[in-house]
Structure 1
Amino acid sequence: VSRLNATTALSLQLAHKLMCYYNSKAQNRPNVGKFSVSDIDPDKCTHLIFAFSDIIENQLVPTTVNDVQQYFKFNALKQRNPLLKTLLAVGGEKFGTEKFKTMAGSQENRQLFIQSVIKLLRAFNFDGLDVDWRYPAEEDKQRFTELCKELETAFVDEGTSSNQERLILAASVSAEKSTIDASYEVEEIAMHLDFINVLTFDFHGPWENVTAHHSPLFQGSQDTGDAIYSNTASALEYWRDQGAPEEKLNMGLGAFGRAFSLSSNSSAVGAPASGPGEEGCYTGEDGFWASYETCLYLDGVQNHLISDQKVPYATTENQWVGFDDTTSISTKINYLKANKFGGAFVWSLDLDDFRGEFCNQGKSLPTTTTAPPTTTTAPPTTTTALPTTTTALPTTTTAPPTTTTALPTTTTAAPTTTTALPTTTTASGSGVCSGPGLVPDPTNPNCYFNCDAFGNNNPTCCGATLVYKDSCKCCDFP
């Protein structure tokens, strides 16, 4: 079975949201593992999320001084794709809970944080915030709800007073049933969040003493006790059943494998393991292999399908690794669409075979031109409106906005060294532009003109299966 990076497979099949994380630490990796903003293809994802920012004295701040320049370059990608939305993530796996706990601990601290969020996002032209608090303790459950509520209210008020499209609010949340129960008032936070990114990977890993896939789609036949909930389908359906609208829920896809060192001759699922596998030669973490490292280590090795969980694994010498390939990603996307969840997100772009040197798929971060995801979901414009469309991970009780997002009519993105346009059109556009904004191409319903203040037309086209609709200033299905 040919291996394919997660974003490539998604671009081939997904017409919903595809949110892609950029791990800013990847720019410090050695040799071909080095990944920076300039390596991002802005046409392959509907949303890009910059990971991560920091909290100091209850205020949102860049993690490093170097991040400031990266913010400018990151948001300048929207000059090449006017449909693209960008978010700034705060927190993450290694961030800890103390700063979140202190910030959310009082209304005064939360308000200080919220005002700093709006100031930072607007200063660098981000479109929204992704709160990645792993994970609120039981005593912080209600405070997390208050934080979400107050962020949404402030975003709505600021958007109205400044006459700008309001900032998007997302959260990255646990996929483990016990943590969901302990950490979240699901129905309440879902009312205030536009997107809920369910971290449907790392259910298992080399911190355990037997082999298991870190991101299975379904329950395995060997699963017992709480392990029956440790799979993608169970997590998404539990969020939905607890009251989160499915159109707000996004499935997590990890562009990496989790590797174990085998401690016996057995290499099946559930085989004894002595700890993490070898470290990735570029990522440098024991038992963690980027997609391209997995392809490198498994070159010529046969994949094995875990039939009940719909995901593959492979072994090489005493190394056992579970990962996703083209087939398993296709199966997950079919499940996502059949259950009308909102979309998917990928952690992270730098873990894909972005140079196309290892997985024999050509230059990665999809080279295919067949209908990449181009539609996005507009955030609610009031404090009570729920985002519409039947595409999110958790459940819905109220119909939210639509799956398309209004296109920006002006840009404040910082200057960038590239001005490449997304897709070209043969129409000249002469005489169409009378000022800045988006104007339909009268000769081609698939295309539009992104007019600037000087009357330049900047011809652009939607994805192959979409048309431009002037009523919403967006690309949508015919």
Structure 2
Amino acid sequence: MIAVLQKASVTLAVGGWNEGSANYSEMAADQKKRSSFIASAIETIKKHDFDGFDLDWEFPTKRGGRPEDRENFIALLKDLRAALKPHGYILTAAISAGIETLKSGYKLKEVGDLLDYVHLMCYDYRGSWDSTTGANSPLGPVTDPLTVKSSVSFVLANGIPARKLVLGLPTYGRTFILETPPAEGEKRNLGERSKTGAGFQGPFTRTDGFMGYNELCLELKSSNWTVYWDDASSTPFAVNGDKVISFDNAKSIQLKVSDLLGD
């Protein structure tokens, strides 16, 4: 592990889901604001001796963004690349795995050319915002647009080099509340009707529809949960009364990685 960590790059990551898109959309549209943003990033990288910069704009053209974000995202990456290269810093970005967002928000060939690595966020395909239970990070099938296989196939077909692709996989669960609790001993399946927007919280993260892996491990040990395996998505899920958790374990992570490396 020490040898692995010594070779690892530690980068400054800026953005995330909670920040939304509006501020990044405004910044990327203005050359002076881009320059100010980049100067601040480089100052922080130098101060803390980071190895580079990771942009996590979630997402261009979405969540308060504008149609021009697709072009402006490339302009921002070009400016970042030009500013970081003389220092030897690496440049990466986290991008959506949703096909529609990939189409509207990114010129993927140029993104692949400009970045050292592309972090594809292969999670949150399903959650308590849906009207049925589903897998947080389903492997396949490739014909379903809401799967890891379809996302990876799309970005590879549209210009992201395989050698630059980093698969982002979840170490947390998505929670649901069933409309109809199961009878005692009745087997449940993913895809059953659930209450929209009614996922339950973990005791520490306290976020509806979300459960951290630490919370998940404690919950499965301390409560009366039954764990099932969903063949369609190649992921586990757990049921306790009207509560359902979709999550990943060592088996499902290994299946995703080995399957995609095989492709």
Task: Give the TM-score normalised by structure 2.
Answer: 0.89
1:232 aligns with 2:154: no
Unpaired runs of at least 5, structure 1: 1-41, 47-80, 160-165, 340-478
1:181 aligns with 2:103: yes
Query: By how many angstroms is 1:232 displaced?
Result: 0.7
Cross-structure match for 2:122? 200
**Cα pair distance change 1:281/1:43, threshold 3 Å:** farther
C-alpha separation in 1, matches of 2:60 and 2:209: 27
Q: Secondary structure at the match of 2:83?
A: helix
Query: By how many angstroms is 1:201 displaced?
Result: 0.3
Cross-structure match for 2:137? 215
Q: Secondary structure at the match of 1:289?
A: strand
Q: Secondary structure at the match of 1:154?
A: helix
Q: 2:50 aligns with which of 126, 131, 156?
A: 126
C-alpha separation in 1, matches of 2:141 and 2:126: 12
Contact kept in structure 1, 2:189 and 2:230, CA below 8 Å: no
Contact kept in structure 2, 1:301 and 1:315, CA below 8 Å: yes
Contact kept in structure 1, 2:139 and 2:234, CA below 8 Å: yes
Query: Which structure has the larger Rg over C-alpha atoms?
Result: 1
C-alpha separation in 2, matches of 1:131 and 1:194: 12
Unpaired runs of at least 5, structure 2: 62-66, 183-187
C-alpha separation in 2, matches of 1:301 and 1:289: 15
Query: By how many angstroms is 1:308 displaced?
Result: 2.2
C-alpha separation in 1, matches of 2:165 and 2:53: 16
C-alpha separation in 1, matches of 2:212 and 2:113: 35
Bigger RCO (CA 8 Å, 6+ sep) = 1
Q: Secondary structure at the match of 1:88?
A: strand
Q: 1:147 aligns with which of 72, 76, 80?
A: 76
1:367-425 deviation per Cα after TM superposition (whole angstroms, max 9, x unaligned): xxxxxxxxxxxxxxxxxxxxxxxxxxxxxxxxxxxxxxxxxxxxxxxxxxxxxxxxxxx
Q: 2:190 aligns with which of 240, 244, 269?
A: 269
Q: 1:336 aligns with which of 235, 260, 263?
A: 260
Cross-structure match for 2:64? none
1:313 aligns with 2:224: no
Identity rate, percent: 30
Q: Secondary structure at the match of 1:312?
A: strand
C-alpha separation in 1, matches of 2:236 and 2:261: 21
Question: May I ask how many residue pairs the two structures share in their alignment?
Answer: 250
Cross-structure match for 1:448? none
Q: Report which of the two has the higher share of helix.
A: 2
Contact kept in structure 1, 2:176 and 2:209, CA below 8 Å: yes
Counterpart of 1:238 in structure 2: which amino acid?
Answer: F
C-alpha separation in 2, matches of 1:197 and 1:237: 14
Cross-structure match for 1:106? 30
Cross-structure match for 1:327? 251
Query: By how many angstroms is 1:125 displaced?
Result: 0.3
Q: 1:278 aligns with which of 193, 197, 200?
A: 200
Task: Give the TM-score normalised by structure 1.
Answer: 0.50
How big is the alpha-carbon RMSD for the aligned residues of Structure 1 and Structure 2? 1.8
Contact kept in structure 2, 1:92 and 1:134, CA below 8 Å: yes
Q: Secondary structure at the match of 2:6?
A: coil
Counterpart of 1:154 in structure 2: which amino acid?
Answer: A
Query: By how many angstroms is 1:336 displaced?
Result: 3.1
C-alpha separation in 1, matches of 2:165 and 2:236: 25
Contact kept in structure 1, 2:52 and 2:84, CA below 8 Å: no
C-alpha separation in 1, matches of 2:174 and 2:60: 26
1:250 aligns with 2:166: yes
